Amino acid sequence: MRRLKFQRQSVDLALIGVLILSMSLLGVLNSPAKAEDFAGEIVTGYNAALTGAFAVGAGQQSSGVKDYWKMNNHCITVGDKSYKVNVKIMDHKSDVSVAVSNYHHFAAMGAVVVHIAGTPFSVAAKPVAERTRIPMTVGGFSKKLFVPPSEYVFLHQPSYPGAVAAEVKWYKENVWKGSGKMRLGMLLWDNAYGRASDEDVLYDYLREDLGIELVPTAFFPTAAKDYTAQLLKLKSQEVNVIYFQALANQYAMFCKDAKRLKVTPKTDLLTTYWSLNENFPRLAGDAGNGAYGMWQYYVAKEDDNPSNPEVVKIHDAMEKYHGNRYWGISYFQGWLCQHLQAHMMKLAIKKYGFPITGEQVSSAAVDMGPWDWGLSRTFSGYRGGDRLGFHEQRIFQMKQGKIRVVSDWVPEPAGFLERAPWVVGK
């Protein structure tokens, strides 16, 4: 009897072992692709302001970077082969010297493309990109990125001065009701981001093409906490509208100061990208009502529909990983730079085979034609020397505490681009 009992226990253990082995095999078959399933690995870099003065929205942006690759199984697929993408993330701390140092670190890691968030940092790192032959995608804009022209710099939005021209033109034609010349004051952040709009060709376009009267452009320090002096001066100059260029926190403070000094609602306020985000109504309170801004991507809630599958995918990721389908607009910036880099790397592999180098990624991107990337109405690509990708945006406004779209897509005006051919690589 003891021997029979022992045999039965042995059979039971064997069956359990088979069951465990079967479950293990099933787990392997159903698990995400593992290293041995990839045809190779590609390293990229994300050089971001996770801390410091430019860190507004940085957490959401870096989450957008990570979540893009989670949603795409950490790989790109070309033909019947998949390649693992290993994104290295480094904080440049809103410090130009650190941004440059980080770029050298990415080069040492073997990165084939690097994203830099922030205009001042991309300008400083441009020579490094050219020396290392590792292209950069840029969240920002500056003439210095385009003059002299470079085959290692790629943006994914319209120019800042072109955006000013577009918004002011739209405002004059659709909102302005005054008599005589519209009088405009511009107040810009005193750094490469704000000064990117301090262009004579822009002022010439506004004066000569639009017939607008300009008061001298004013600048404010990067760490400004109060705009009383600037607003009182603009008020004394009897401007009808003020264009302010900084980020959401600064724009909110500016709106509060404008309300306190009774500049608004008589004088309207305009701003560029990045300011009218989901935090702005809370930061600005009632003072934000009536303020205008712009977005260059499909960031409105109504854009989250089946006709925009890439946008739906972004919101799916926000909901899956952060529990809120509309977690944050800055998330788009992290996602879309990876979406662009994935496309560039796929083009390089198709053109050159694998492995690829930064120089080959750049070469493939330089020849990139129109692409339906799904994040704005158009994407014209980079072929022919244009390094912006597309040239239109929509105007938004805060009304009753909510950010709303108030225009169709508004292009960078042809008159401005004729005055600034370097914007489109001519």
On the question of pLDDT at 223 being above 80, the answer is yes
Mean pLDDT over residues 368-382, rounded?
96
Mode of pairing for the β-strands spanning 392-399 and 410-411: antiparallel
Of residues 4 and 317, more confidence is placed in 317
Residue 240 banded pLDDT, cuts 50, 70, 90: very high
> Which letter does DSSP use for residue 227 in this model?
-
Average pLDDT over residues 355-378: 97
pLDDT at 55: 80
What is the pTM for the complete model shown?
A: 0.87
The pLDDT value given to residue 117: 86
Instruction: For residues 331-341, give the mean pLDDT.
Output: 96
pLDDT in tens, 115-131: 998 888 999 999 999 99
Tell me the pLDDT tens digit for each residue of 17-63: 444 444 444 443 344 445 558 999 999 999 988 898 888 778 899 99
Select the more confidently predicted residue: 54 or 92: 92
What local confidence, expressed as pLDDT, does residue 30 receive? 41
For residues 158 and 423, give the distance between their C-alpha atoms in angstroms, rounded to a whole number. 9
Rg (CA), the chain: 25
Quick check: 5 pLDDT over 70? no
Query: Residue 399: pLDDT above 50?
Result: yes
- Determine contact, residues 280/357, Cβ cutoff 8 Å: no
Percent of the chain with pLDDT over 70: 92
Tell me the CA distances in angstroms from 328 to 64, 72, 293, 317, 406, one per residue in order.
Answer: 10, 20, 16, 11, 20
- For the chain, percent of residues with pLDDT exceeding 90: 84
Q: Residue 36: what pLDDT? A: 55
221 prior amide bond cis, ω within 30: no
On the question of pLDDT at 4 being above 60, the answer is: no
Domains contained in the chain, CATH given: 36-158+302-366 (3.40.50.2300), 160-295+393-424 (3.40.50.2300)
b or e along 210-223 (b: 16 or more beta carbons within 10 Å of the residue's beta carbon)? bebebbebbbbebe
The answer to whether residue 362 scores a pLDDT higher than 60 is yes
For 168-215, the pLDDT digits (tens) are: 999 999 999 998 899 999 999 998 889 999 999 999 999 999 999 999
What is the model's pLDDT at position 420?
A: 96
Question: What was the pLDDT predicted at 1?
Answer: 45
With a cut of 50, say whether residue 2 has pLDDT above it. Answer: no
* 306 secondary structure, DSSP code: T
Model pLDDT, residue 260: 97
What is the per-residue pLDDT for 103?
96
Looking at residue 97, its pLDDT comes to 95
Q: Which of 5-14, 34-43, 316-325 has the lowest mean pLDDT?
A: 5-14
User: What's the mean per-residue pLDDT of the chain?
Assistant: 91
Q: What is the pLDDT of residue 351?
A: 97
